[in-house]
Amino acid sequence: MTDLKRTPLYEAHKALGAKMVPFAGYEMPVQYPAGIVAEHQAVRTGVGLFDVSHMGEFEITGPDRNAFVNRVTTNDVAALEPGQVQYSAILSNDGTFVDDCTVYRFEDKLMIVVNASNREKAWEHIVDQKGGINVRLRDISDDIGLLALQGPKAEALMQPLTDQHLADIPYYHFTSGKIAGVGCFISRTGYTGEDGFELYCRSTDTPKLWDALIAAGAQPIGLGARDSLRLEMGYALYGNDIDEHLTPLEAGLGWIVKLDKGSRFMGSDSLKAQKEHGVTRKLVGFTTPGRTFPRHGYPVYYDGKQVDVVRSGTVSPSLGFGIGTTYLPAAAAKVGTRFEIEIRGERVPAEVVARPFWKEGSARKR
């Protein structure tokens, strides 16, 4: 693992007894001694802290910044006020995913946050579209540390550490301030379905911020629980639920595609054609009985034929039974449809259900 990058918190993770694994080119904590299920429940019932400093951040400045980001992402940047965040996507000319992303609108700049595994690809894709547009693009990923404080008690834990009135920050909004003396962008966003914050700070300040939040009572959470938490919410994971062969319309993410926003974007013509003709497959959520474990890559059968594989799957720690996602033919992609998954050589029944699987997340109450 000598060629892997490390976040500024590598030594902190080791000191806490984390099991480190390769992930997206980084050496990252998959779990701590408490274990994945305990970490998962800590976020659902209390507050957990994730190191997500491996994510990529691109800064866009200049007079044409809003128009440019509208051109390289699917959602409508013009709908954002300064201080708002937007879930969006970066597409190929064929309308398939280069990456999913979030867009932050400041008074004088924009920031696009991408997955660590796609950082270089997404950066090259965006730079290639600059042409003569009057913008300045900077990959600031290595200068930024990012922590995610997640759980129904996140606000209560963090409020004593800041002069900001955290209750005034709406969901998918952000502000600037200090947490435990560390200057941050404080964003009320996350990937767990629970209330909480994503905290962007200088890379060199990340250990101080981490230590302060741990000292205040946050439990460290690894990638294993991060995955089970996001899957219970039905949130897409690049490389599983979405990839370079799939479009937002197939993935059930048509709501982040604004074909009528007044400007073309990369892939918009292909998506218009797909919308007109209709998609042939759709991403669905499913459940399996009891504690059967529908792992990623297991074959999926509908009407006696293999139609896909399990894209994401686990035994839900919150619900106690198997959950997952797969693609089914469009006509079959409706709640109640039954199909089969091959698990260790045996076909197990599965049924399409509505997402999210976990419907009690505190973020829904904001």
SS (H, E, C) 166-195: HHHCCCCEEEEEEECCEEEEEECCCCCCCC
Q: Which residues of the chain have pLDDT under 50?
A: 1
User: Could you read off the pLDDT of 8-67 as tens digits, one per residue?
Assistant: 999 999 999 999 999 999 999 999 999 999 999 999 999 999 999 999 999 999 999 999
Q: How many CB atoms lie within 10 A of CB 172?
A: 16
pTM over cut 0.85: yes
Confidence at residue 94, expressed as pLDDT on a 0 to 100 scale: 98
- CATH 3.30.1360.120 residue ranges of the chain are 10-53+142-232
Bridge-based pairing state of the strands 219-220 and 196-202:
unpaired
Q: What pLDDT does 2 receive?
A: 61
How many CA within 13 A on the CB side of residue 197? Answer: 27
Q: What is the pLDDT of residues 317-347, one digit of tens each?
A: 999 999 999 999 999 999 999 999 999 999 9
Fold of the domain spanning 280-362: Elongation Factor Tu (Ef-tu); domain 3 (2.40.30)
Whole-number Å distance between alpha carbons of 112 and 202: 16
Looking up tokens 């990937």, which residue turns up? Answer: 191
CA distance linking residue 286 with residue 352, whole number of Å: 4
Domain 10-53+142-232 superfamily per CATH: Probable tRNA modification gtpase trme; domain 1 (3.30.1360.120)
d(C-alpha 199, C-alpha 57), whole Å:
13
Domain with CATH 2.40.30.110 in the chain: 280-362
| Kind of pairing between the strands at 174-179 and 110-114 | unpaired
Peptide bond into 356 cis (omega under 30): yes
Which ranges of 113-237 does DSSP label H, i.e. alpha helix? 119-128, 154-158, 206-215, 223-232
